[in-house]
Structure 1
């Protein structure tokens, strides 16, 4: 069954969730001028990685990445899937704890963070327990409800821009490549595309539509960084942890019935983040199910969610979240490069073997 539109929507929503939250601060903190250069480099890497991933998967039309690695050998499944599980768990912990912190600061000042985290993970767990079909249907609903709000937020964010801040456009200093902020910016790409390798036994999708979606996201990545810079300037924007969120909080519209436009943005990001977490939980459950065939997927999801919630309770401050970001760097780049290109290499070898057999 072709689910190209659903796949593209879910991918775009999960990208948008991280795009406005972590990504602008990472880029602004790592570069002082010519910010479009690190953005374009990151997007080109993302496009290359997703293309390699989809190309490799195309050689195995009805297999997920678990079956592909097991086809090579149990050693391959262990080498590639164990770091992947650790990465998915760390991303879930960081996402739940990070968004809970922001919700507490903006909306629910008197509500303890643990209660927000519990609600956050509970809703995501419920979606994951209903399977990938339910996650896709929820994604379509969220797209209809919240994509117009995101576009509205983008448009009104131009209210206080000063285009003089766009200069200088070029830079001769490429030291941003080694800055921690730029390294962390790849977290916006590393986890979103992985679900493509888990849905192949259930759904098909168009690779060309996915590539078009990747290209369509480039302007949004650029604007998510440049709008705070054009409003506050580089020096001021670099002092904020979440520059785009701060930008939206400064926008004032007399005819709007709500006091803060930030509400629109954060509500959208929260729902997109829940969708992303449910996807990651489902992916982890698929891997664990192959390792423990007798276990029910719903029980595995509940156990994993409980562990994530317990980890969130042990995190006491935003500094601890940033420390987790640093710990996750090696797993992030392993997932970003080793998983897609290993699938591509296995696929190319399989394709050559089939050609030899058909001769």
Structure 2
């Protein structure tokens, strides 16, 4: 699930953010961001396994209400804002590529109804659906990924060393969206779904080529100056692929549908995790009512966003919260779980 959720997040906003952040040596910001993500993930997993067969809600509640407010409330807000961003961006992409005559409100409604249904069925149903979707769509992604190299010019890979000024670029800071939200759900699924730390780390390492090539395929196809003008450079680069023996003209549609299905899984996990946090804070609210009211609120906010410029602004406003979540949740989980484990050993 961790692997396919990230596949859904990588290919949309991330390539454009990295390409816009620097003129040369794009592999450096990619590897740096991935290294920070891997460090946060490793710390988070270590904390979860120190805590045992339980979720982080129980961990923060046991530590005290102050800890719960300090960490769980921002996390719920982040999940909520991530849902808004994903729904609105995905609807924009769908209308551009394949549903140009369909109203945006209808696309967003459809895009929210399916994840809401998954979330209502529970976390085990989400994971079963994820396995099925992964088995069907990962081969499709790998197939088209292999053909995306046919129009590249390797000369565009140089120069390979750039300036460190990308560290302060807003576009680079925004690129951490793909790193921050895709692993936090692991803290909510125990004891409902068991997983092994080793397999999650291996899945993370397996994602590195996708991070690199999602940026370098449009770069090597169009060059820096042209690729930087696209909002979704990887999606645009797929339109240049020609497979003569394939009967379909626009293969982008197949890849897009596969990625959209992965994003729906991310949305269902985010909605379910948000429901868990809100229910822990206000037990009187029933989970089913929350899983209906939260998507409705997301939909209303999405309707209130008038243009793509406002989506970009929202994406930037979320940056500070994103870094807080990415740093604070793994660190606090590790230290609180380690402290709890030491107390249990002493007692």
| TM-score calculated relative to the size of structure 1 | 0.95
CA distance in structure 1 between the aligned counterparts of 2:101 and 2:48, rounded to whole angstroms? 48
> What is residue 314 of structure 1 aligned with on the other side?
304
- 1:142–1:271 CA contact under 8 A, matched in 2: yes
> What is residue 169 of structure 1 aligned with on the other side?
160
> What is residue 150 of structure 1 aligned with on the other side?
141
**Shift, 1:204, TM fit:** 1.9
**Shift, 1:296, TM fit:** 2.1
CA distance in structure 2 between the aligned counterparts of 1:126 and 1:338, rounded to whole angstroms? 31
**Shift, 1:353, TM fit:** 2.6
SS at match of 1:295: coil
> What is residue 50 of structure 2 aligned with on the other side?
59
CA distance in structure 2 between the aligned counterparts of 1:170 and 1:291, rounded to whole angstroms? 49
**Shift, 1:350, TM fit:** 2.1
**Shift, 1:352, TM fit:** 2.9
> What is residue 80 of structure 2 aligned with on the other side?
89
> What is residue 243 of structure 2 aligned with on the other side?
253
CA distance in structure 2 between the aligned counterparts of 1:295 and 1:82, rounded to whole angstroms? 16
- 2:51–2:338 CA contact under 8 A, matched in 1: no
Provide, for residues 215-235 of structure 1, a one-character-per-residue CA deviation record: whole Å limited to 9, x for no partner: 111111101111111111111
> What is residue 119 of structure 1 aligned with on the other side?
110
Provide, for residues 22-49 of structure 1, a one-character-per-residue CA deviation record: whole Å limited to 9, x for no partner: 1100100001111111100011001000
Provide, for residues 124-151 of structure 1, a one-character-per-residue CA deviation record: whole Å limited to 9, x for no partner: 1000000001100110111111101100
> What is residue 7 of structure 1 aligned with on the other side?
none
**Shift, 1:351, TM fit:** 2.9
> What is residue 270 of structure 1 aligned with on the other side?
260
What stretches of structure 1 of length at least 5 have no aligned partner? 1-9
| Residues 1:214 and 2:204 are matched in the alignment | yes
Please identify, of 26-35 and 290-299, the stretch whose mean Cα deviation from structure 2 is larger: 290-299
> What is residue 99 of structure 2 aligned with on the other side?
108
Provide, for residues 320-359 of structure 1, a one-character-per-residue CA deviation record: whole Å limited to 9, x for no partner: 11011011111111111101111111122223333433xx
**Shift, 1:292, TM fit:** 2.3
> What is residue 6 of structure 1 aligned with on the other side?
none
What is the alpha-carbon root mean square deviation over aligned residues?
A: 1.0
**Shift, 1:186, TM fit:** 0.3
| Residues 1:295 and 2:285 are matched in the alignment | yes
- 2:119–2:268 CA contact under 8 A, matched in 1: yes
CA distance in structure 1 between the aligned counterparts of 2:86 and 2:144, rounded to whole angstroms? 22
What stretches of structure 2 of length at least 5 have no aligned partner? none
> What is residue 240 of structure 1 aligned with on the other side?
230
Provide, for residues 252-286 of structure 1, a one-character-per-residue CA deviation record: whole Å limited to 9, x for no partner: 22211111111121111111111100000000111
Aligned length: 347
| Residues 1:231 and 2:249 are matched in the alignment | no
- 1:252–1:260 CA contact under 8 A, matched in 2: no
- 1:153–1:264 CA contact under 8 A, matched in 2: no
**Shift, 1:177, TM fit:** 0.6
